[in-house]
Chain A
C-alpha cells in the first residue's frame, strides 16, 4: 500500500513497493497520458513532475516517492489543455503520432520553469526525449513560443 499525491489529490494504491510509478499511474490510477516507451529511463515518454522536477517514472519505484511529494502528470498540467506549453504545442500543431508528446510537454514545462529563456543548447541538453516521427524541430519552436508567451503574459509555471 502506498499513498501518493497526484495532481493535487491524495491517492491510496495497493501495489508491490517496487512497482514503477509509471505503471501505478497507468494501471492503478488510469492516468494513461503517461506512456510506456522503454522502461529504462531512455526515451522520456513517461516523464512526470515530482515536486516540479521532470522525472522518468518508468524507472522510479513507487516506494521512492513519499506521500508529500507532489506528482504532476499530463492530466494535471491543466484542466483543459490551457497551459502555455500546451497552447504553444497546439498553435504549432507539433504532434504527429503523438505518443511521445505528453512526455515532451512535461519535460519542456520543467525546463521552462527552471530556465524561462532557454537557448538552443539548453534545449538540446534538457530535452533528450525520443520522438520517432521526428517532431524535434517543432518541439524546439514550441518551447521558444511558450517561453515568449510565458514571459510576455507573466504566467507562472
Chain B
C-alpha cells in the first residue's frame, strides 16, 4: 500500500521546509489547482487518483488491521470506476486532510464490523463519479457526447469512431469536469471486481518484513520511550527516584507523562525499558486497591436478583408466568474480563514543536487520534496531523486513544525530537480496555408440549457505554448491553419468537475499564441465549436443532443459517464414535450467523474436530476475505471461551503476559468450513458476528459429550476439562 505516511517520510528525504509546505498544502487547495501545481499526481476526486501510466490509487478512510477492509473497499470503488484492477494500489488520507476538506472521506472510525457496510454507498458513488468525469474528459477531447462513450478496465472507447484512450491520459482534464449530479450504481449481479474472491492488496510486504507497523517506524533523530502507568486503575503517580535510571546507558530523560504514568526516554527502546525497570516509583493505588475478582463477583451476583433493572425487551408477562409456574429451568452463566492482546502492543510516535504536532499511530480511528493528540499537545487541531500506521491487530483496543495521549505528552517534553513510545506486553496486559464482565441468570418455563412459555434473562454487570460513550446512554440504560437481544432491533435482533420474554440488565460497574472487544456484547449474549436454549431443548427432551426450528419459523434468514450449518455438519446423520455435536445461531452486526461443532472429550481432554459456519451478510464483497474473517473469528471466539480471563487482585489485573494469559494456538484450532450466504438485498458485517456462535456451538457440543454444562467461563479454568 502506498501510504500518506510516505509523504511524511518523503519530507525527511527531501529535508526542506519548502517541500513540506507544498506537499501538505497540496491536499488543502482545490483539486484542479493541486493538479496544476504538479506537486501531486492528479486527483480525479477525493477517492481516486489516476497517474499518467494508468496506475490507480484508491483512497481508503478506514483502517486496515487484518480484516481485509482495505481490499474490499478498493474493490467497491474499482467496480464503479471500471478500472484495471491489476494497477490498483491504495493510500490513507490523513485525518487532518479530512478535516481540512470538510470531511470529504467521512468517518475514519473502524469498528463494529462497519468498514464496508456503512461506507459502501459513498465509496461506490466516489468511484462512479470519477468514472463519469474520466469519460466526460475523453468525450470533450473527441467532441462527442459522453453518452456515446464507455469505459472498461481503464480504457475509454467511442465505438462509433473507433477511438480509445486511457484513464491516465485524461485524468488531469477529468479533475476539472463537473461532478455528475445523478449517478446510478451498478447492480451487484453485474459486478466483476466486487463480489469476487480476489487476493488481498497488502500481502506481499507482510511476507518479507517490509511492512512497516507503528512499532517499526524509524525517523531521523528519533528517541524511544518506555512507559509505565499505575497498575491499579484509578491510582496515581506520587513520585519517582530517577537517580539510578538517569545514569544508565542511552538514557536521555526520565519524565512524568501525566498524573498516572512515568516514562524513560532513551536512544533505544530496550535501554529505555531497562532504565524504566530500574526506576523507583511510588504510587498512590487509590480507592480501588482492595477490589478483587471475588468482590466484583459478589456485586454482580447480587445484581442477578436485584429488584431494579433496565428493561431491554419485554413481551407478554414473563415474570408472572415464571412466578406461577410449577417448574422452571434456571441457569446462571458468567463471562470474565479479557484483554484484546493484539500481537503488536500499543504504541505511538510523536514529533512536537510549538508550531506543529505530527503523530504516527496504528489506530482504528484516525480522527479520534487527531482529537486526542491535539488535546494532549494543547495545539489547535489545525496544527496537528496523524499518519495512520498499519495495525498489528486492533480488535477494538486501538479505537481508544490513551496511548496516543501518552506519546504526545512525552513528545511535548522533548520538543523537536521524534519519540516512539512502545508499551511492553506487561504494560499492555495491565492497561487494557477489557471485554466487559457480566453474569446472566436465565429462567424458562416450558408448556406441556415442551414449547417455551416464558423466559427471563437477567444480565448483571458492566456497561461499556457508561464508561466510554455516556452520550449513547438512554435514560441511564446502556442499549448496547442488549446486542443480539432486541426483539424489535434492526442491527442485532433477537431471532427467536417467544411470546413472554423479559430481558433486563442490572448495571454493575467496577473500576476495570470495559471496552469494545471484537464481537463486543454479542459474544457473551450469544453464549447466554444459545446455551440456555440448548438447556431448554434438553429439558423438553427435544432435538436442539428441531427445537430451534420451531422458534425460528417466522424468521427465514435465521432459519436458513441454522439449516445450512445443520446440513453442513450432517446433523441428521450419526456422528463418528466418541464425537458429539452442538449448534448455535444469532444475529449481530447486521448479519445472520450460525455454527455447528463436532467435539470429543476423552479423559477430560477436549478436542474440537470440526466447525461448520454460515454467514448471511447480504452482499458479499470478497468471499475469500469473508472465509478468512470467519476462520479468524473462531480463533478469537474459541480462545475467549476456552482460555481467556483476566482476574483481579489488589485492584489490578493479575495476568501479565502470554505465559499466564494463554490464547488459542495451532494445536487447538479446529478445521473451519465457512459457508458464505450471499443472499443480497442488505449489507451485514463480517469481522465480528461469527465470534459469537463459536462459543455456544462448542459449549453445547461439550454438553452433548459430557452431560455437563460449563457455565462459568472460560472453560479451561475448570480442572476437569483441558485442551487435548
Point out residues on A near B: beta carbons under 8 Å: 16, 19-20, 23, 26-28, 30-40, 42-43, 45, 73-75, 77-78, 80-81, 86, 89-90, 93-102, 105, 123-125, 127-140
**A-side interface mostly:** loop
Nearest CB in chain A to that of B391: its residue = A97
Contact A42 to B270, CB < 8 A, known contacts A124-B667, A127-B666: no
Which 5 residue pairs are nearest across A and B when measured between Cβ atoms? A33-B209, A134-B635, A97-B66, A99-B392, A98-B206
Judge whether B65 and A40 touch: CB under 8 Å: no
Known: A99-B343, A101-B206, A134-B632. 14 other contacts (CB 8 A): A32-B212, A32-B216, A36-B345, A37-B344, A37-B658, A42-B658, A81-B204, A95-B203, A96-B632, A97-B391, A100-B343, A102-B209, A124-B666, A132-B341
Task: State the CA gap A133–B667 with chains docked (Å).
Answer: 16
Q: For A78, list chain B residues within 8 Å (CB).
A: 208
Task: State the CA gap A37–B633 with chains docked (Å).
Answer: 21
Is B150's beta carbon under 8 Å from chain A? no
Q: Mark B179-207, 1 if CB is under 8 A from A, else 0.
A: 00000000000000000000110111011
Point out residues on B near A: beta carbons under 8 Å: 65-68, 199-200, 202-204, 206-213, 215-216, 218, 224, 249, 268-271, 274, 340-345, 390-395, 422, 424-425, 624, 628, 631-636, 657-659, 663-667, 669, 671-672
Contact A42 to B659, CB < 8 A, known contacts A35-B344, A36-B215: yes
Judge whether A42 and B657 touch: CB under 8 Å: yes
Judge whether A33 and B208 touch: CB under 8 Å: yes
Judge whether A140 and B666 touch: CB under 8 Å: yes
Contact A97 to B657, CB < 8 A, known contacts A23-B268, A43-B343: no
A-B contact pairs, 6 of them (CB 8 A): A32-B209, A78-B208, A133-B66, A134-B636, A134-B669, A136-B669
Task: State the CA gap A85–B665 with chains docked (Å).
Answer: 20
Task: State the CA gap A140–B666 with chains docked (Å).
Answer: 8
Q: For B665, list chain A residues within 8 Å (CB).
A: 128-130, 136
Judge whether A35 and B208 touch: CB under 8 Å: no
Judge whether A90 and B209 touch: CB under 8 Å: no
Nearest CB in chain A to that of B67: its residue = A96
Smallest CB separation, B423 vs chain A (Å): 10
* Candidates A16, A30, A135, A140; contact of B632 at CB < 8 Å: A135
Task: State the CA gap A136–B608 with chains docked (Å).
Answer: 14
Task: State the CA gap A18–B424 with chains docked (Å).
Answer: 18
Nearest CB in chain B to that of A76: its residue = B209
Task: State the CA gap A7–B636 with chains docked (Å).
Answer: 35
Smallest CB separation, B223 vs chain A (Å): 11
* Candidates B207, B342, B624, B666; contact of A89 at CB < 8 Å: B207
* Candidates B203, B345, B422, B635; contact of A133 at CB < 8 Å: B635
Smallest CB separation, A123 vs chain B (Å): 7
Q: For A90, list chain B residues within 8 Å (CB).
A: 203-204, 207
* Candidates A30, A73, A137; contact of B631 at CB < 8 Å: A137
Task: State the CA gap A31–B212 with chains docked (Å).
Answer: 11
Q: For B204, list chain A residues within 8 Å (CB).
A: 81, 90
Q: For B657, list chain A residues within 8 Å (CB).
A: 38-40, 42
Judge whether B208 and A136 touch: CB under 8 Å: no
Nearest CB in chain A to that of B270: its residue = A23
Q: For A125, list chain B residues within 8 Å (CB).
A: 667
Task: State the CA gap A138–B666 with chains docked (Å).
Answer: 10
Task: State the CA gap A94–B249 with chains docked (Å).
Answer: 41
* Candidates B199, B212, B213, B666; contact of A93 at CB < 8 Å: B199
Q: For B200, list chain A residues within 8 Å (CB).
A: 93, 95
Task: State the CA gap A28–B250 with chains docked (Å).
Answer: 13
* Candidates A73, A94, A123; contact of B209 at CB < 8 Å: A73
Judge whether A134 and B633 touch: CB under 8 Å: yes
Judge whether A39 and B666 touch: CB under 8 Å: no
Q: For A102, list chain B residues within 8 Å (CB).
A: 206-209
Judge whether B207 and A101 touch: CB under 8 Å: yes
Q: For A129, list chain B residues within 8 Å (CB).
A: 665-666
Smallest CB separation, B393 vs chain A (Å): 5
Q: For A77, list chain B residues within 8 Å (CB).
A: 208
Q: For B424, list chain A residues within 8 Å (CB).
A: 39
Task: State the CA gap A105–B202 with chains docked (Å).
Answer: 17
